[in-house]
Amino acid sequence: MKNKNLLITGSGLCLLFTLFFGCGERSGEKEYNKAMASWQHGDLSRAQGQMQKAIRKLSDKEKRALANNQLGIILWSLDKKEESVEKFSESCRLSGELTGANLNRGMTLYYTGQLDQARFEFTKIMGEQPRNALAHGFTGLIYIQQKEWKKATSEIAIGLKENPTDPAGHNALALAQLHLNTGSDNAVARLKQIITTYPDYTPAIYNLAVIYDQWRHDGTSAMEWYQKYLEKAGAGALQASSANQAIARLKRTPSENMGQPPRQTNPEAAAQYIAAGSKLHTAKNYTQAIRQYEKAIEADPTQVTAHYYMGLSYYELKKFTEATRAYTAALKMDPKDANARYMLVLTYGKLKRWNEAENEAKALKLIDRERGETMLKYISNARKQ
């Protein structure tokens, strides 16, 4: 089965839009209100400085909790994701009860790939607020990332029961159901209903295009939906590049994807590119090494070594998400490649995606018992920290 990269989106952060009024802590409250005004006007850097100043001057714990939450939102808007997690965590610590900061902390952990920590936060929220639609929805998204489709379907359905008008929830549910091997009919019907009800919700349009393209192999319909996505979302959209590439490919390929001569490969050229990449990797010129491995894969896509070595170079560049894709590609061609499996476990560990790391470590144990057991112990210890 082809690699099916569907677009999954969640809801935004919880904006606790509050101004302080009253005669207490005037200096801190004044700075807080200044920060909120700057934030409203889009002056994020000024808002950050003013909110930090407000936090230093405020002594009331609940007000400081609220200010830290707002600072987390500002930092997130400035793409300072790790700092925003810290501020949401501080807001949670200061507040005596569950607030929007708990949801924000869970969402930022999710978006930064810290899935186990995010699920812990959402589970805590659902323990006290069992009907919290956002917590159930994001828990479902986490299960999707971890490929636990039945659990994902259950959690997202609960969230939709509480908030049935959420297009992102219906979008995610369609994708979870698609992977339960029940066929694509239900997913297509749900996505079309989303598009009818929410015509400007473009992720559903893109996902529908991908299903027609990669599940149903209906190139004509796929191209039509890719084009609709670009018309609605615009050239700067998240998946615009992927949609344009798919359209170009479909224009070259008959819709039934049959009758084409087999692609010519050049293993000799691929071997030369791999050798050149290996030398560059040894010289710590990782970016150039990756380019050589890409050329090797273009010359011969079946080169397991090229995918594996590309993963090593991405790993050294700390581009761990890209590294996991490279190792996964290698393992699709050779599931018994113990080195690729070992590095995939390590890389998932770097991303703190412990469930996926554990699954891969168990698979590694079947082909390399010693290294598999070592990695399982490593994961167990890391989760305790």
- Tell me how crowded residue 142 is: count the other CB atoms within 10 A of its CB: 24
Lowest mean pLDDT, pick from 54-58, 99-103, 244-248, 324-328: 99-103
DSSP state of 179: T
- The single residue listed with the structure tokens 């359209």 is 247
What is the structure's pLDDT at 96? 62
Give the domain range for residue 196: 183-252
Q: What is the pLDDT of residues 320-366, one digit of tens each?
A: 999 999 998 888 888 888 899 999 999 999 998 898 899 889 989 99
What CA–CA distance (Å, rounded) separates 344 from 341? Answer: 5
| Whether residue 260 has pLDDT greater than 80 | no
**Residues 46, 39: Cα–Cα separation, whole Å:** 8
**Digit-coded pLDDT (tens) for 165-191:** 888 888 888 888 887 765 688 888 999
Q: Are residues 246 and 308 in the same domain?
A: no
Same domain? 299 vs 228:
no
Instruction: Look at residue 102 and tell me whether its pLDDT is greater than 80.
Output: no
For residue 21, pLDDT beyond 50: no
Q: What is the pLDDT of residue 26?
A: 66
pLDDT surpasses 90 at 316:
yes
CA 197 centroid distance within chain: 26
**For residue 253, pLDDT beyond 60:** no
> Cα–Cα distance between 296 and 17 in angstroms, integer?
53
- With CA atoms as reference, report the closest residue to 27 among 50, 44, 47, 48: 50
Identify the domain boundary among 252, 271, 306: 252
Asked if the structure places residue 222 within a domain, the reply is: yes
Please tell me whether the overall predicted TM-score, pTM, comes out greater than 0.85 for this model.
no
Nearest to 345 by CA among 330, 327, 329: 327
Asked which of 198, 227, 252 is the last residue of a domain, the reply is 252
* Statement to judge: residues 231 and 305 lie in one domain: no
Nearest to 134 by CA among 12, 7, 17, 16: 12
Report the number of distinct structural domains present in the chain.
Answer: 3
Q: Per the domain annotation, does 235 fall within a domain? A: yes
Indicate whether 225 and 308 sit together in one domain.
no
Core vs surface per residue 353-362: b (16+ CB within 10 A) or e: bbbbbbbbbe
Cβ burial 180-198 (10 Å sphere, 16+ → b, else e): eeeebeebbebbeebbeeb
What is the predicted pLDDT for the residue at 5? 46
Q: For 262, which DSSP code? A: P
pLDDT for 10 beyond 50: no
More confident residue, 97 or 336: 336
CA distance 333 to 301: 10
pLDDT at 98 over 60: no
In a domain, 122, yes or no: no
Residue that wins the pLDDT comparison between 94 and 337: 337
Average pLDDT over residues 15-36: 62
CATH classification at residue 28: 1.25.40.10
Check pLDDT > 70 for residue 264: no
The CB-side HSE value for 221 (13 A sphere, CA atoms) comes to 16
pLDDT on residue 58? 85
In a domain, 174, yes or no: no
**Which contiguous run of DSSP H or E holds residue 161?**
helix 149-162
